[in-house]
Structure formats: structure tokens, C-alpha cells
Amino acid sequence: MSQLGSCSMDQAYTEIIVVRHGETAWNATGRIQGHMDVELNEVGRQQAASLAERLSREPEISAVYSSDLKRALETAETIAASCGKFEVIKDPDLRERHLGDVQGLLFREAAKVCPEAYRAFSSRGTNQVIPGGGESLDQLYHRATSSIQRISQKHTGKRVVVVTHGGVIRALYRRACSRRFRGSILNTSVNIFQISDDNVWTIKSWGDVTHLNQTGQHSMSGFGVTKTSSVVTSVLT
């Protein structure tokens, strides 16, 4: 687990355990998901169960929040059942980035099928929207960080789990570190943010999938591009 520092202990803060959902069939085949509502596959369910068992042995969790998309919600419900039988609080602002016309396409074919949308999807410009109703990175950033700020303010001094998506987690990293994350966000990876009462964001740990060591199932995908890997911690570059 990569340790990235922590907030001063004399300052009130909320600890938010941000988790990417488990694997889906679309992750496994390299199909772009975005707002498409895809369920977990069996590997994803096993990943969620392993994570839930791990979190149940850690310090007390006060609430579980989730994107309302099925792949995140099922992951969150598995965690909630093991960590105190919470009712999961659904927040549409925790959804993945809307990816417009590239949603539903195989990543390897998207450039040929929808070249304009693919160029926008691949753009480094943070204000670039994607044809077909897709969001810019800035639009994703504002809705995702606003959601986390609301959650932090509601649970000051507590530990909270948030289950969401790779694009959202990248946006949260950008908020905490003032730069974009380059690397893979693994399925069911654990990324711990501490948010102080004066809204200072610190990353306590990043990309932890030690709970998957027994299964060897590390799905490396950003928006559906999946590879098999033994990587445990995402590299910060």
C-alpha cells in the first residue's frame, strides 16, 4: 500500500475510503462503460467479497455511499452487509464520467467506429466534452468533488466508504494532488482520503489491493481496458 502522508491529528477530518467497483464482463472484454449500467461478473463479486471481509476487520465504518450504477451499488451492498448491515446511500454524482458516443464500444474499435468521439475521449483538454452527451473532465471533476465534500461535511471525524468508478477516482486524485493521475485504477482498489474541517484534502494511501493477493485477480482498466497483472499498488507518476 502506497503511503502518501496524513492530516495533522490535532485537526478534525473525515476519512473517506474510496473504492472502485468490482470487475464486470465489459471490463474483461475491453468494452467502454461510462454511464452504461453493467453488472458485476463472478470475478467482480469475488473481489467485492474479499474487500468486504477485509474492511470488516478494520476500524469502524459509519456509512457506505455508492454510485447508483449496478456495478458500484452491488460492490457497496456487499461491503455494507459485512461492515454493519448499513443501508447504502446512493448518489448519482458518484457515477462514472458520461462518455457519449464511445459508450458501449470495444476500446480497440472505438477510434474507427466513432473517430470524433474517440478523439474527444482521448483528449488531454479538461474542458473537452464528448459528442453524444459526454462530459468533460472538468464537469466530472466538479460533480465528483462536490459529492465528496458533502459526504465529508456530514461525517466529520468518522470513517466512510464510497464506492465509485475509475474516472471519479482520478478526479479526486486531481483535487488532492493538483495534478492528473497517470496509471491504472484497479477494480476494488482502496484509496483513502482524509479531508480536514477546513477542506484540505490529503491522500493517506493509494491503489491498495492487498485483499486480492489470494485470488490473483487484478483487473487493470481505466474505462474498460483490462489486462491481467500482479500489480498490487498503482505507481504514482
Active site members: 21, 96
Cα 223 to its chain centre, rounded Å, is 11
DSSP β-bridge partners for residue 164:
20
182 is in an annotated binding site: no
Query: Look-up: residue for cell 471533476?
Result: 141
What is the distance in angstroms between the CA of the first residue and the CA of the last residue of the chain?
Answer: 16
Nearest 5°: the CA angle 102, 168, 147 is 125
Residue with cell 459526454: 134
Does the annotation flag 71 for ligand binding?
A: yes
21 has binding-site annotation = yes
Angle at 236 between CA 234 and CA 237, to 5 degrees: 130
Q: Is 33:96 a contact under the CB 8 Å cutoff?
A: yes
C-alpha cell at 73: 451499488
- Supply angle C-alpha 83, 48, 145, rounded to 5: 80
| 23 known member of a binding site | yes
Closest of 24, 222, 221, 31 to residue 110, by C-alpha: 31
Q: Is 27 annotated as a binding residue?
A: yes
Instruction: Find out whether 206 is annotated in a ligand binding site.
Output: no
Residue list, annotated binding site for substrate: 20-27, 71
